[in-house]
């Protein structure tokens, strides 16, 4: 069935960094010339970008994985590895991104909004970088950094200006197909519409987007019927049009229908009751109920022009009252600093990207590399941070996957 998807899971992985090379110049009269191992290239990043031409999250249902290109490895003669290409993942406007834990990470509201979903790994340094007075022939290089990788929950909030609200079979789909180019299925039974449909309405004075959402029933806000899944799309609409079925004599009268619909909206989100709301009776041509308010017939066209005019005017008014769109909101900055915590086993755990990275990319079985990493950690202030956190000689310290005993500087 689904020609539309408004929820999906997405797995993103940046490109791993390329490894630095260990290499020495070949010279005619010297057995081992100076180090000339090039650096590895950085891996590409994964970006999510809102794009007007993407209508749903369907593409992620069957293929949830997106990864950027790896960085090339460094080579001899000082050749650096190539940078891996970024992966640009197009998502519809109105895509909301959350972590698996439910934390909001980004709202991609309008075309062009971008969000960095997974950072590529940095390339490792080649051995040429480790040349110093003490180290004439460095025998080590860094590995490439492993890229960020994670699962995300993505969800689409339709960007409709007007939402059509009504009980099942009230004539919502018939109305949207009359006033826009959208052609959802119309049939004389409830729950014909299973997924939301958007239509663009154009008149001389106005242009706006209308959403035909599946019918609501009593209890929808608690999960009854289909409507609750789509109530969040109603949340985005500036104007609500409540359609009351006047046709069926045996069905609930219009006043009762309105009570149920308004109650469900309010239960789902009280602020919806503050939205501009137009209430109309539908199927005026075959009306079986008395109705004092305005009436339309999507079949004969009665009342349609005036309804569309009212929708347009309310949308324009609501747009003018709004602050400018926010663009991307990134809720969680990347931690870059240095932090020392106590592990459950009493060990001092050092966190922070630069320190973790220094450890992760190095081959710590190589004595020279180990020496370099210790020097680097000191430069990053790890020793000082440990001393401040109360570490004493012999205490266990962990950084990433690396453990050692603390030895204070003299």
The whole-angstrom separation of Cα 98 and Cα 74 is 36
DSSP string, 186-207: --SSTT---S-EEEEEE-SS-E
N-term to C-term CA, the chain? 71
39/23 Cα distance (integer angstroms): 11
Q: How far is the CB of 230 from Mg ion (least distance, A)?
A: 12
Q: Least separation, in Å, of the C-beta of 345 and ligand GTP?
A: 59
Q: Which does 53 bind (CB under 5 to 8 A by kind): Mg ion, ligand GTP, none?
A: none
Structure tokens given for 304: 């349609």
Among 192, 269, 316, 374, binds Mg ion (CB under 5 A): 192
Q: Give the whole-angstrom CA distance, residue 342 versus residue 346.
A: 6
Dist CA 186 CA 169 (whole Å): 9
Instruction: Name the nearest CA neighbour of 219 among 267, 255, 166.
Output: 267
Least CB distance to ligand GTP at residue 217 (A): 10
- Residue 171's Cβ-side half-sphere holds a number of Cα atoms within 13 Å equal to 26
Using the contact rule CB under 6 A, the part of the chain among 63-71, 161-169, 317-325, 335-343 near ligand GTP is: 161-169
Cβ-based nearer residue to ligand GTP, 17 or 214: 214
Binding segment for Mg ion (CB under 5 A), chosen from 17-25, 190-198, 245-253, 282-290, is 190-198
Which lies closer to Mg ion via its Cβ, residue 23 or residue 173? Answer: 173
Q: How far apart are CA 356 and CA 336, in angstroms?
A: 10
Q: Among 193, 257, 282, 297, which residue sits at the site for Mg ion (rule: CB under 5 A)?
A: 193
Site pattern 184..213 for ligand GTP (x: CB under 6 A): --xxx-xxxx--------------------
Task: Retrieve residue 311's tokens.
Answer: 């929708």
176's contact among Mg ion, ligand GTP, none, with CB below 5 to 8 A by partner kind, is none
Interaction between residue 299 and ligand GTP (CB under 6 A): yes
Binding footprint of Mg ion on the chain (CB under 5 A):
173, 192-193
Binding footprint of ligand GTP on the chain (CB under 6 A):
166, 168-174, 186-188, 190-193, 214-215, 282-283, 285-286, 297-299
């Amino acid at each position: 069935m689904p020609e539309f998807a408004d929820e999906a899971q997405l797995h993103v992985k940046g490109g791993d960094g390329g490894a630095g090379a260990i290499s020495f110049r070949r010279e005619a009269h010297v057995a081992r010339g100076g180090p000339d191992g090039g650096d590895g290239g950085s891996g590409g990043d994964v970006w999510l970008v809102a794009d007007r031409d993407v209508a749903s999250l369907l593409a992620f249902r069957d293929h949830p994985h997106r990864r950027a290109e790896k960085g090339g490895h460094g080579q001899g003669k000082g050749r650096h590895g190539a940078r891996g290409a970024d992966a640009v993942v197009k998502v519809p406007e109105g895509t909301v991104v959350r972590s698996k834990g439910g934390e909001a990470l980004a709202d991609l509201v309008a075309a062009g909004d971008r969000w960095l979903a997974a950072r590529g790994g940095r390339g490792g340094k080649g051995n040429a970088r480790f040349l110093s007075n003490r180290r004439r022939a460095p025998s080590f290089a860094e590995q490439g950094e492993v890229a960020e990788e994670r699962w995300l929950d993505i969800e689409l909030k339709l960007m409709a200006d007007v939402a059509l609200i009504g009980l099942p079979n009230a004539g919502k789909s018939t109305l949207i197909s009359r006033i826009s180019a959208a052609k959802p299925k119309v049939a004389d039974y409830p729950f014909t519409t299973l997924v939301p449909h958007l239509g663009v309405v154009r008149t001389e004075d106005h242009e706006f987007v209308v959403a035909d959402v599946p019918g609501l029933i009593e209890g929808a806000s608690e999960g009854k019927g289909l409507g609750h899944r789509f109530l969040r799309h109603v949340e985005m609409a500036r104007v609500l049009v409540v359609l009351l079925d006047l046709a069926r004599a045996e069905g609930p009268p219009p006043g009762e229908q309105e009570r149920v619909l308004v109650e469900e909206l309010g239960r789902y989100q009280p602020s919806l009751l503050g939205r501009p709301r137009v209430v109309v009776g539908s199927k005026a041509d075959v009306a079986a109920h008395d109705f004092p308010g305005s009436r339309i017939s999507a079949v004969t066209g009665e009342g349609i022009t005036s309804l569309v005019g009212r929708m347009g005017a309310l949308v324009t008014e609501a747009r003018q009252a709004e602050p400018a769109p926010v663009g991307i909101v990134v809720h969680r900055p990347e931690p870059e600093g240095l932090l020392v915590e106590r592990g459950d086993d009493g060990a001092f755990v050092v966190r922070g990207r630069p320190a973790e990275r220094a450890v992760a990319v190095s081959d710590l079985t190589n004595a020279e590399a180990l020496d370099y990493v210790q020097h680097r950690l000191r430069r990053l202030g790890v020793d000082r941070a440990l001393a401040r956190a109360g570490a004493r000689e012999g205490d266990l310290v962990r950084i990433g996957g690396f453990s050692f005993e603390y030895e204070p500087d003299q």
